Structures are given as structure tokens and as C-alpha cells.
């Protein structure tokens, strides 16, 4: 066996697809093993009573890699995109307020005070105080997300814009997340000089110049408009299932890797528990496309320092709560992507996606369903709640923010992810450096998952392809 991929989430499947189908491949024998009885990891689409909903990721930013993968597995006609002009809302001062997306909307918005707006603009223009503080100096200048954005954009923007965004993307704690790890693009903008605004302009200009020199885009790829988010007619699970279908019997479900050892010949001996009994596979190379705790367990006998580093990556619990209501129950039309909630307000829910407003066919006539997220790094006690308690907590917030009357919800699902989203906390870069340093002692052994390179679906596809290319380079050097 040339390549064994452990984990059939989107990262592992993307790596396998690249190895098997990329024009530059050399016919490598590839096998994907997955401990669960389904592919896709946290990507989970469900349907019942005319509703269709997601219990994990809800949509994707249409990156070139993700679109290309979708086309290559035959899903080009299944792609759907939400209107990029739909507003995003923050609940503040007792009402929903649209996040301003234009200069005029910014000045007319009451989400920030005049003082807060001036502070944001000054910071974006480069008038930023220097990094100060013994705590920051002690960690080599690495700032938390709160420190970075408060310094650059001010306290108001941090509390009312950045904090709810962090809750929606990472379910994270801005006092613990590393700005350089969790917001790499922002860090690059700062490094470009002149403040975040000038840095963003320089990076955008560089991208446009690179695009002019790039080869023509694949004509099969759709061209979504700015701000649009994507999905598939039958939900996100269609993508990993289509990739796995194309791989055929190269994907084995219910196969759990129990141990990895390296023999004197330099190949890896992998012990697997399968539905058909114990299996033993010899592989020239391995990709561990599994969550950090699983990867840590498998690496512990080989690379204990790498295992320790991975075990230090937190994965807080998050519940995805899907509630449906009659359209007549809402205080206003649900035209928008959804709403986020600053943690300073003391509400339990992190944010709500107005799912049936984004994509057609997600709810029966006269109904709307909401995908709500609760828990995260700042609410660790969630795991002690029952499903009914979690649903009622979310309904109480929905009632306060969105409903004009107390209509009982139709509870479609309460899905608790005990290990939901990896947290890129302070020291994350050092932990990843330790991982890669240790893996250098084990040629042909690679590790990748959404604990590195980004948690979005497009990041997973890109990272899987990068690992596939690294595997191909490794195997090619040993011919």
C-alpha cells in the first residue's frame, strides 16, 4: 500500500481524491479508513417532515478548491448559493442591527457610537498604539484576539462586531484565542503596514495581480458573486458522499486504527479493528486526517512530544439546535443570513442562522427553521444539560430576539458535539511547530486536520490537497 489515509472527513477524502484523480499522480495505491460508519466527519445533513437542515457546518465560502472538487465529483448542477446581499445582523441595544457593509451604512448605523466609529477608522488607517504589557511580552508578543482587535479597532468594535463573529466561527474565547493563529489574514494585513485598511488594500492588489498572471480558470467552475455562501440542493453531506462514491472500495467504514509502528524497512505497520476482524496493513506513507485528540493517541508511542502538543488543543462542546416556527410568529421578515449575539449581553445562544431564508426547499410552506449554536469555550457547563434544557435555553433567546409572541417551537434536532471546533489558542503556532518537528523523524508520516490552516470547509479541501501533493513528492523521491 502506497498511501493509507486515516479519517474520512472532508480533509482526508480531499487528499484521497487528489491522489487518485490528479493528472500528475502515478497510480498510487490509496486506502481511506474511517472508524465511524459514515463519511464526512461533522458534516451532517438531516431531513424530516419537509425540513432539511445541517447539524454541523451550514454552508461554505466558495473557494476555488472547494468548487473544483464539487465539479470533479459531479455536483456542479447541485450547487446552490445564498444571495450575498442578504444582511447579517447583530443583536444589540435590544434590537437587531444590520452589520454595515458600505460607507453610507456605516455612518448611519447605530451599532457603534460616533466615538466608536472614529476609533475604528483611526485604527484601520494605521493609528494604532504599540503592543504593551508584561503578559504579552512574556509570550513573545503574541496577542490574544481581544488584545489585537481592541488595539487596532477599539473596545466598541471588539465587543459588538469581533466578539460575536468569534462566537459564530470558533465558538471561542477572545481572551484565549491567538490573533496570529486564528486570524492569519488580519495578521498579514498588519504586517503589510499602514494599518488593517492599508494592509488589506495591498493584499487585495497583490491578489488581483496574481490573478492576471494565473492560467485561465476551469470553465466548468461556477462564478459566485461576492459575499455568496454555498451549499448543495440536498445539503452539505452530498459532497463527502460524492467524493467517497468516486473512491469506491478505497474507502473502508468501521475500520478503526489501533496502532502504528515502523519496521526496519522504513514502512509502517498499521493494526486495525474492522467489522471483519483484525486487519494489518503495510503502508509506505500515512496521512492522519483525524481530530487532534485522535491523532495524539496514535502518535503517542512514536512521537510523544507531538502527542502532548496536540492534546493541548482545546475542543469545546457546542450544541446545534434546530427549531422551527410558523412564519407568522416572527416580529419581522427573516430576510438575512442570521444574527450573532455579543457575549457581554449574557444570553446563552452564540448565534442563529436563518437557514430556510438562505436556500430554497429547506422548510415547508408557511414555516421557517433556525439553526442555533450554543455552548463553546465560554460556556463549558453545557455538556451537563439535557437536550430539553438546551432547546428551552435557545428558545428563550429566540423568543426575546426574533418572535412577536411566545409560540412553542417545533424541535427538529438537538445535536451536541462534545468536541466541536479546535481552538487556536495562545501558543497554537508553537504546538504545530512541535508537531511538524517531531514528524520529521518519521518520514512518510503526515498529519492534517482543521486544527491547522483554518476550520472552514474550503480550508479542509485545500489542506487535504496540500498533504496529497506532499505525499506524492515524498513517494516520488523514494522511487
The tens digit of pLDDT for each residue in 247-267 reads 999 999 999 999 999 999 999
Q: Hey, what's the cell of 9? A: 472527513
Q: Would you place residue 187 in the very low, low, confident or very high pLDDT band (cuts 50, 70, 90)? A: confident
Cβ burial, residue 126 (10 Å; 0-12/13-18/19+): middle
Quickly state the pLDDT bin for 157 (edges 50, 70, 90): very high
Given a contact cutoff of 8 angstroms between Cβ atoms, the answer to whether 274 and 432 are in contact is: no
Q: What is the residue-wise DSSP string for 248-300?
A: GGGEEET-EEEEEEE-TTS-EEEEEEETTEEEEEEESEEEE-S-HHHHHHHHT
CA dist., res. 118 & res. 154, Å (int):
9
pLDDT in tens, 274-286: 999 999 999 999 9
In angstroms, what CA-CA distances link 136 with 158, 166, 173, 295, 430?
18, 21, 17, 30, 15
What global pTM score does this model have? 0.93
Close Cβ partners of 338 (under 8 Å, ≥ 6 residues apart): 88, 89, 351, 352, 353, 354, 355, 370, 371
Query: Would you place residue 34 in the very low, low, confident or very high pLDDT band (cuts 50, 70, 90)?
Result: very high
Q: What pLDDT does residue 24 have?
A: 66
First to last CA, the chain: 14
| CA 179 – CA 76 distance, rounded (Å) | 36
- We find that the CATH architecture of domain 115-211 is Orthogonal Bundle (1.10)
Residue 12 confidence (pLDDT) above 80:
yes
**Candidate from 198-212, 434-448, 449-463 with smallest mean pLDDT:** 198-212
Residue 385 phi, psi dihedral angles, 5° rounding: -90, 150
**pLDDT(25) > 70:** no
| Average pLDDT of the segment spanning 132-150 | 84
Q: Which of 28-42, 184-198, 444-458 has the lowest mean pLDDT?
A: 184-198
pLDDT at 217 over 80: no
Q: How far is CA 260 from CA 6, 29, 299, 419, in A?
A: 11, 19, 8, 24
Residue 18 has pLDDT above 80, yes or no: yes
Strand 338-340 with 277-283, pairing: unpaired
Domain range annotation of the chain = 3-42+237-314+425-476, 115-211
The pLDDT value given to residue 135: 72
Query: Cα-atom radius of gyration of the chain, to the nearest Å?
Result: 23
Q: Establish whether domains 3-42+237-314+425-476 and 115-211 are of one fold.
A: no
Say how far apart CA 324 and CA 352 lie, in whole Å.
12
Asked whether the beta carbons of 37 and 320 are under 8 A apart, the reply is no
Query: What confidence tens digit (pLDDT) does each residue in 85-94 have?
Result: 999 999 999 9
* pLDDT tens-digit readout, 301-348: 999 999 999 999 999 999 999 999 999 999 999 999 999 999 999 999
* Total residues found in the chain within this entry: 479
Question: Residue 204 pLDDT > 90, yes or no?
Answer: no
Classified as helix, coil or strand, 373 is strand
Residue 291 binned pLDDT confidence (cut-offs 50, 70, 90): very high
CATH code assigned to 3-42+237-314+425-476:
3.50.50.60
3-state SS, residue 43: coil
Amino acid at each position: 500500500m502506497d498511501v493509507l489515509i486515516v479519517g474520512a472527513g472532508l480533509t482526508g477524502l480531499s487528499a484521497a481524491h487528489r491522489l487518485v484523480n490528479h493528472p500528475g499522480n502515478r497510480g498510487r495505491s490509496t486506502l481511506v479508513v474511517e472508524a465511524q460508519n459514515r463519511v464526512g466527519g461533522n458534516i451532517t445533513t438531516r431531513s424530516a417532515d419537509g425540513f432539511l437542515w445541517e447539524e454541523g457546518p451550514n454552508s461554505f465560502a466558495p473557494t476555488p478548491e472547494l468548487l473544483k472538487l464539487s465539479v470533479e465529483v459531479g455536483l456542479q448542477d447541485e450547487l446552490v448559493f445564498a444571495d450575498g446581499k442578504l444582511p447579517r445582523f447583530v443583536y444589540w441595544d435590544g434590537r437587531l442591527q444590520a452589520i454595515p457593509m458600505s460607507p453610507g451604512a456605516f455612518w448611519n448605523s447605530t451599532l457603534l457610537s460616533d466615538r466608536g466609529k472614529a476609533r475604528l477608522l483611526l485604527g484601520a488607517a494605521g493609528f494604532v498604539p504599540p503592543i504593551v504589557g508584561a503578559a504579552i511580552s512574556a509570550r513573545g508578543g503574541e496577542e490574544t484576539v481581544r488584545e489585537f482587535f481592541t488595539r487596532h479597532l477599539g473596545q466598541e468594535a471588539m465587543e459588538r462586531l469581533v466578539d460575536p463573529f468569534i462566537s459564530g466561527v470558533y465558538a471561542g474565547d477572545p481572551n484565549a484565542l491567538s490573533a496570529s493563529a486564528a486570524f492569519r489574514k488580519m495578521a498579514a494585513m498588519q504586517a503589510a503596514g499602514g494599518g488593517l485598511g492599508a494592509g488589506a488594500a495591498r493584499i487585495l492588489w497583490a491578489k488581483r495581480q496574481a490573478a492576471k498572471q494565473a492560467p485561465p480558470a476551469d470553465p466548468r467552475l461556477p462564478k459566485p458573486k461576492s459575499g455568496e455562501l454555498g451549499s448543495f440542493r440536498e445539503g452539505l453531506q452530498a459532497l463527502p458522499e460524492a467524493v467517497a462514491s468516486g473512491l469506491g472500495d478505497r474507502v473502508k467504514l468501521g475500520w478503526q486504527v489501533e496502532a502504528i509502528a515502523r519496521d526496519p524497512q522504513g514502512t509502517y505497520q498499521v493494526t486495525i479493528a474492522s467489522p471483519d476482524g483484525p486487519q494489518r496493513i503495510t503502508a509506505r506513507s500515512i496521512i492522519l486526517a483525524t481530530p487532534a485528540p485522535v491523532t495524539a493517541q496514535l502518535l503517542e508511542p512514536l512521537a510523544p512530544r507531538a502527542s502532548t502538543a496536540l492534546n493541548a488543543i482545546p475542543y469545546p462542546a457546542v450544541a446545534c439546535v434546530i427549531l422551527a416556527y410558523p412564519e407568522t410568529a416572527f416580529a419581522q421578515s427573516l430576510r438575512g443570513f442570521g444574527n450573532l449575539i455579543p457575549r457581554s449581553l449574557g444570553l446563552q445562544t452564540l448565534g442563529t442562522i436563518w437557514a430556510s431564508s438562505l436556500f430554497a426547499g429547506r422548510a415547508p410552506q408557511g414555516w421557517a427553521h433556525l439553526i442555533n449554536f450554543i455552548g463553546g469555550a465560554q460556556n463549558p457547563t453545557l455538556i451537563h444539560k439535557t437536550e430539553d434544557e438546551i432547546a428551552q435555553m435557545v428558545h428563550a433567546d429566540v423568543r426575546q430576539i426574533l418572535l412577536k409572541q411566545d409560540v412553542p417551537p417545533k424541535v427538529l434536532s438537538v445535536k451536541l458535539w462534545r468536541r466541536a471546533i479546535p481552538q487556536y489558542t495562545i501558543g497554537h503556532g508553537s504546538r504545530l511547530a512541535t508537531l511538524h518537528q517531531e514528524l520529521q523523524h518519521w518520514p512518510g508520516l503526515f498529519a492534517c486536520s482543521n486544527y491547522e490552516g483554518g476550520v472552514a470547509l474550503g480550508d479542509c479541501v485545500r489542506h487535504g490537497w496540500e498533504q496529497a501533493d506532499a505525499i506524492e513528492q515524498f513517494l516520488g523521491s523514494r522511487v
